[in-house]
Amino acid sequence: MGQFDLNAALVLVRVVQAGSFRAAAQALGMPKTTVSRKVSDLEAQLGVQLLQRTTRRLSLTDAGLLFAEEAEAAIARLEAAQEAVTELQREPRGRLRVTTSVTIGELFLAPVLAAFLEAFPAVEVLLQLTDRPVDLVAERFDVAIRAGELPDSSLMARRIGSSTYRVVASPAYLARHGTPQRPGDLTAHACLRFTRSGMEVRPSWPFGAGARCSEVPVSGRLVSDDFVVLRTAAEQGLGIARLPGLLVHEAIEAGRLVALFDDLAPPPNP
């Protein structure tokens, strides 16, 4: 048997439901001759006669009755599936698996979760906060929110914002150790460094852009994979940190941290 023609099966079901080729053709929006040919092709493919045709009426053969009942049930299931998907587009429902970094999750997602769940009562959210690389397909995540350049990927992506990094220190630290006047001075300071889980510590911090971009080697006794930990350490005077601007904005405004080298910050990250 060759490739089965589902459209022909639908035509047969509509003929049976309408009671004639003419009525079925009107319901389907196609010529009567096309409807008749579809049914004939289906009979030829199945190798049995499905309809008894007379000038006055149509009647199903035993094979036709069996096929029409099964086909009608199958079409009803397909239509129900289509309606379910359409309903899903009208009102999202089901489990939404989301992964994002710890910082993005705590700063941006946690404050809006209540409003989101109230707006979409049929949605269940599974939120994973991690800074490790995630395989969206293998780990079956629906959405990932990340900062930084996107590697080459066949996955759909949309830029939803940008972030800058700011170099900061507490007034107490700068009073004890002096304020660095240029990025190169950081080599003589205790720097609080970030590392992603399972990855090596970045040995330098970038400054400037384009042809004027440079990397300054940094070192220090504290390394963490949590930006909040590093911000707290900076506020306590343990060293100089390079952190997401949104994470330190309030502390800078409140005077708990002082921004350094803002004029030499690299371009914002997506």
CATH number at residue 178: 3.40.190.290
Q: Which domain holds residue 126?
A: 94-145
Q: Which contacts of 184-187 are long-range, i.e. CB under 8 A and separated by 24 or more positions?
A: 184/216, 186/216, 186/218, 186/240, 187/216, 187/217, 187/218, 187/219
67 and 110 in a single domain? The answer is no
Is the pLDDT confidence value at 1 over 70?
Answer: no
Residues 231, 243 contacting (CB under 8 angstroms)? yes
Is the pLDDT confidence value at 210 over 60?
Answer: yes
107 and 178 in a single domain? The answer is no
Chain-centroid distance of CA 110 in Å reads 17
User: Which of 103-112, 196-205, 225-234 shows the lowest per-residue confidence on average (mean pLDDT)?
Assistant: 196-205
- State percent of the chain over pLDDT 90: 53
Residues 237, 189 contacting (CB under 8 angstroms)? no
- Is 150 among the domain residues? no
Is the pLDDT confidence value at 214 over 80?
Answer: yes
Q: Where residue 160 falls among pLDDT bands split at 50, 70, 90? A: confident
What is the per-residue pLDDT for 198? 61
82 and 123 in a single domain? The answer is no
Is the pLDDT confidence value at 148 over 80?
Answer: no
| End-of-domain residue from the set 49, 73, 90 | 90
Backbone angles phi, psi at 165, to 5 degrees: -100, 140
Comparison of pLDDT for 199 and 99, the residue scoring more: 99
Q: Are strands 58-60 and 204-207 parallel, antiparallel or unpaired?
A: unpaired
- Is 154 among the domain residues? no
pTM: 0.61
Q: Where residue 161 falls among pLDDT bands split at 50, 70, 90? A: confident
- Mean per-residue pLDDT for 92-116? 91
- Is 48 among the domain residues? yes
Is the pLDDT confidence value at 126 over 90?
Answer: yes
- Mean per-residue pLDDT for 180-187? 96
Q: Which helix (H) or strand (E) holds 125?
A: strand 123-129
114 and 63 in a single domain? The answer is no
132 and 199 in a single domain? The answer is no
Chain-centroid distance of CA 166 in Å reads 28
User: Which of 32-36, 51-55, 219-223 shows the lowest per-residue confidence on average (mean pLDDT)?
Assistant: 51-55
- Is 151 among the domain residues? no
| Number of domains making up the chain | 3
What's the CATH code of the domain at 41? Answer: 1.10.10.10
48 and 12 in a single domain? The answer is yes
Which tens digits make up the pLDDT trace of 5-28? Answer: 888 889 999 998 888 898 989 999
